[in-house]
Amino acid sequence: MMSLLAYRLFLDPMPVWDYWYLLIVPLCVAVAVVYKSMKCRSMSQVPLEAGAIVLWILGGFGAAAVGLMLLVNWLGKS
Amino acid sequence: MATDSRVSAVPAPLMAICGWLLPGAGYFLIGQIGRALGIGITIILLFVAGLLIGGVREIEVPGFNVDTGEKQMVTLVDPVTHRALLDSQNRPQTGWALEVSALGEIRDKPWSVPQVLAGPIAIASGVWSVHNAAADGQTMQIDPATGKLDVKTGKAPLGAISHARVNEIGSLYLSVAGLLNLMAIIDSTWRASHLSQKRKEAK
């Protein structure tokens, strides 16, 4: 609450320290929309195709995170 | 087709420059308005989101000190002896980092390279970043005892510098926006030349 009161748009960093990991979602959406806008023949196909690719990217990141967590845990025990 | 008639009028280098000046403008010039708006608005929103997340001072402008906003000066070194060059009063000679070693300065601030690909919006943000690093702003703190906002003028930069993940993520947003614009420039230029070629073959 205190940090929100003193926050100045663009001059201060956003107070997102506790949920920084959620910031991957808009980044993935932007990459997917631009990529699919280039690939699709018609722009009407873009929302559906971009939505699908966003899920793929987030799923891939999630799988990589779980894989790395398991690897680190295994290396820590051995 | 309307698209083909427009293509012949726009040379590829001009399209690339227009695409850099305004993200998505390359598609606009070949008549693909929907694609131009979709790509352009997304890239600009991503860039603005990056500035919002990390604050404008996350942009590190080559040639300018990140902490003070002043010109980055470096000591001049003799290329043969690798010793500092001295002036008549035996003090080390200094020069502006961008003039003395432009590549070295850019190498020290590598994020600036993809960020500038987003177009003039990146250059304007860089100017804003340097301006906000100047020490003529206000410090604002909330007194934990009284809960009141304590404002002191002067001696502090206008904008706050971000650190750790917030800085990294903000810089990533800005850089991805620039790289996506590069993709858009290449794609729109390719489309223009490809359509132009098809038109010539059809004649």
pLDDT above 50 for B124 = yes
* Chain A residues with at least one Cβ partner in B under 8 Å: 2, 5-6, 8-14, 16-17, 20, 23, 26-27, 30-31, 33-35, 37-38, 43, 46
Closest CA–CA distance from residue A56 to any residue of chain B (Å):
19
- The pair of structure tokens assigned to B87 is 């002036």
Of B38, B55, B173, which is closest to A12 when you measure between CB atoms? B55
Closest C-alpha to B185, from B117, B122, B93: B117
Chain B residues within an 8 Å CB radius of A25: none
Per-residue DSSP letter, B162: P
Look at strands B73-75 and B137-142 and give their pairing: unpaired
Looking at residue B2, its pLDDT comes to 43
Residue B10 confidence class, pLDDT cut points 50, 70, 90: confident
Which of A12, A19, A29, A48 to substitute to test the interface with B, most B CBs within 10 Å?
A12
Higher pLDDT, B63 or B197: B63
- Measured between beta carbons, the chain B residues lying within 8 angstroms of A5 are 142, 149
Residue A31 C-beta-side C-alpha neighbours within 13 Å: 19
* ipTM score for this prediction: 0.89
What is residue B57's DSSP assignment?
Answer: G
Give me the phi and psi of B64, to 5 degrees please: -130, 140
Minimal Cα distance from A2: which residue of B? B142
